[in-house]
């Protein structure tokens, strides 16, 4: 069982929700939900349930075309609960100020969102001891 999950993806025009191709912060939370589900499946053999976020910080804007790396880790294991930490970083950013296809690889990624939360796998659904 791994207590860490990771993904990288490009934000598309479909993800842009606001003017200027700005991506809705809820998109980062959707990524965190996917990572939490993966961790629960690995640990318990079930998708489980996301109970609550304890803290969410939106730290920098994300735009269509940006590449985001998101990661999660389990920080505490209870009988059926799993506390988790999440972080999303921008690793490539679009540069519309240069031209419509310019982008920069960021030597130092920009943290765009951090969160902590709790997930639960009901005991009767756990398949992995």
Cα–Cα distance, 114 to 92 (Å, whole number): 18
pLDDT tens over the chain, length 129 residues: 569 999 999 999 999 989 999 999 999 999 999 999 999 999 999 999 999 999 999 999 999 999 999 999 999 999 999 999 999 999 999 999 999 999 999 999 999 999 999 999 999 999 887
How much is the pTM? 0.93
Give the residue ranges of DSSP H helices in 1-129.
26-44
Q: Are 121 and 40 in contact (CB under 8 A)?
A: yes
**For residue 58, how far is the Cα from the chain centroid?**
12
Cα–Cα distance, 2 to 10 (Å, whole number): 25
In Å, the largest CA–CA distance within the chain is 56
Strand partners, 92: 67, 105
Q: What is the reported pLDDT for 1?
A: 53
DSSP symbols for 91-123: EEEE-TTT-TT-EEEEEEEEEEEEEEEEEE--G
Kindly report the length of the chain. 129
Domains by residue range for the chain, with CATH? 4-125 (3.10.129.10)
Q: What is the reported pLDDT for 112?
A: 98
């Amino acid at each position: 069982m791994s207590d860490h999950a990771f993904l990288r993806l490009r934000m598309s025009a479909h993800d842009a929700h606001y003017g200027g191709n700005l991506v809705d912060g809820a998109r980062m939370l959707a990524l965190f939900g996917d990572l939490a589900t993966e961790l629960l499946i690995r640990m318990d053999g079930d998708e489980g349930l996301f109970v609550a976020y304890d803290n969410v910080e939106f730290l920098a804007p994300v735009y269509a075309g940006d590449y985001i790396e998101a990661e999660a880790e389990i920080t505490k294991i209870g009988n059926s609960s799993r506390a988790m930490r999440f972080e999303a970083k921008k690793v490539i950013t679009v540069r519309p100020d240069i031209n419509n296809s310019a982008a920069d690889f960021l030597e130092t990624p920009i943290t765009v969102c951090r969160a902590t939360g709790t997930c639960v796998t009901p005991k009767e659904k756990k398949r992995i001891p």
